[in-house]
Amino acid sequence: MTDTRGRLNIDAGEGQWNLSGSIDETSALTELLSRAQHSNLVLDLAGVTFINSLGVRDWIRMQNEATRQGIAIELRRVSEPIIHQLNMIIATRGNSRVASFYAPYACDSCGREESQLIDVAANAVGLANLVAPSITCPECAAQMAFNDFPERYFSFLVPETPRPG
Ligand SMILES: [Zn+2]
């Protein structure tokens, strides 16, 4: 059964909640915390295509409240629009853990451009060094190139080091 709030759909998955559509001021994300099991909340964000500034505010509220209640949020298959927010606004990260995420790739041989799913644990060493995992083009089997700046796109994975002073 789909729970629809504004332009966001929430569907129950296997031990997780699948979000799709747009996150905005009508999304009421903090309510999702009441769906946590044993203080764990797993959100699949593959279908989230857009988040506006009010949605970002709502998202941060959810993260702050999760921290306050001691709820661990795991984010799976995080879509590119959400990754951009995690990179730009530290507060959107909260204490959540990203298990996997989408990243832009392009194939120089055939011109195919595609968001590719990257598993964080499986690529931990490369990602820690800001090296994009290698992806084979599903179209022509050539090596696809990462289509962003790794030091920018993967920065959400690097823990914030407190500034001196
Ligand atoms: Zn190709």
Residue 149 has what pLDDT?
96
Residue 110 Cα to ligand 1 middle (Å): 4
Separation of CA 62 and ligand 1 centre (Å) = 40
In a shared domain, residues 86 and 151: no
What is the pLDDT tens value at each position of the chain, 165 positions in all? 799 999 999 999 999 999 999 999 999 999 999 999 999 999 999 999 999 999 999 999 999 999 999 999 999 999 999 999 999 999 999 999 999 999 999 999 999 999 999 999 999 999 999 999 999 999 999 999 999 999 999 999 987 666 565
164 belongs to a structural domain: no
pLDDT at position 73? 98
- Counting the structural domains of the chain, the total is 2
Amino acid at 145: A
Does residue 48 belong to any structural domain of this protein? yes
Find the DSSP H helices in the chain. 53-69, 80-88, 124-128, 150-153
Question: Domain span at residue 119?
Answer: 103-159
Domain shared by 73 and 48, yes or no: yes
Does residue 165 fall inside a structural domain? no
Say how many Å lie between the CA of residue 119 and the centre of ligand 1.
21
Assign residue 94 a region: left if phi > 0, alpha if psi is -120 to 50, beta otherwise? left
Which CATH number goes with the domain that contains 55?
Answer: 3.30.750.24
Measured in Å, residue 103 CA sits from the centre of ligand 1 at 16
Question: Is 15 among the domain residues?
Answer: yes
Rounded distance, CA 132 to CA 105, Å? 10
CA distance 6 to 29: 12
Model-wide pTM > 0.85: yes
Core vs surface per residue 106-119: b (16+ CB within 10 A) or e: ebeeeeeebebebe
16 CA to middle of ligand 1, Å?
33
Chosen domain end from 60, 81, 98:
98
Helix (H/G/I), strand (E/B), else coil: 29: helix
Q: Does 18 fall in a domain?
A: yes
